[in-house]
Chain A
């Protein structure tokens, strides 16, 4: 089992640029979560998908953030335009039903 796969692992970009983070959940898992981790705010849930449908996006910070899940094996989190305060580690996690969430290695984003 490959686990949750995220790409890129590191991203450095300039303010105003579009950033796209990618996630491949564990095969067979029907729920996917995007989290953001910062020193100041800890781990925050951004959005939750179930069967490819966004169920809870109350954690998405603002309209600059958007997430999609076009199929069961792929999700994207996009930031447009990016700002320095978006610098963080972004994690994707997946699970089957109400079982334990399994996390990917994260994408470390730095916006200059």
Chain B
């Protein structure tokens, strides 16, 4: 079945780059997503990438997709304390509608 895996925790120093990694299983996924969840809040869409792309950049965010290895990464440049949150990777799987399968989330802690 579909499965999305990501590391559970990442700690970085303020100003450094953060890289959050994710692997997925459904090779037919059309879109892959990164969502951010701050404490006590819902999930906020950060960015997404179409499966025929290998990179997408949006300001401080860079998404890299290795479709062969089914590996997705999110790089946050110049990480700030406000970036501290849980980051979820999700794959959109086929089956009649855009069903999302989420990873367990990576908790990013940014320290001075």
Check A48–B42 contact: CB distance below 8 A: no
Q: How many chain A residues have a CB neighbour from B under 8 Å?
A: 21
Smallest CB separation, B39 vs chain A (Å): 12
Contact with A along B37-51 (1 / 0, CB 8 A): 000011111001000
10 closest Cβ contacts across the A-B interface? Answer: A103-B42, A43-B102, A103-B43, A98-B98, A105-B42, A42-B104, A106-B42, A100-B45, A104-B42, A91-B42
Question: A75-112: which have CB < 8 Å to B?
Answer: 91, 93, 95, 98-106
User: In the bound complex, how far is the Cα of B33 from the Cα of A98, in angstroms?
Assistant: 13
Known: A31-B97, A95-B98, A102-B45. 10 other contacts (CB 8 A): A4-B42, A45-B99, A50-B97, A93-B43, A99-B98, A100-B48, A103-B35, A103-B42, A105-B42, A106-B42
Contact with A along B81-112 (1 / 0, CB 8 A): 00000001000100111111011110000000
Mark B residues whose CB is within 8 Å of A: 33, 35, 41-45, 48, 88, 92, 95-100, 102-105
> A43-B88, A100-B33 are contacts. A91–B97 as well, Cβ < 8 Å?
no
A56 at the interface (CB under 8 A from B): yes
The contact of A55 among B42, B88, B97, B100, by CB within 8 Å, is B97
The contact of A42 among B44, B98, B103, by CB within 8 Å, is B103
Check B97–A56 contact: CB distance below 8 A: yes
> A42-B103, A43-B88, A43-B102 are contacts. A103–B97 as well, Cβ < 8 Å?
no
Smallest CB separation, B29 vs chain A (Å): 12
> A42-B102, A43-B88, A43-B102 are contacts. A103–B44 as well, Cβ < 8 Å?
yes
Note all chain B residues with C-beta closer than 8 A to A105.
Answer: 41-42
The contact of B99 among A56, A100, A104, A106, by CB within 8 Å, is A56
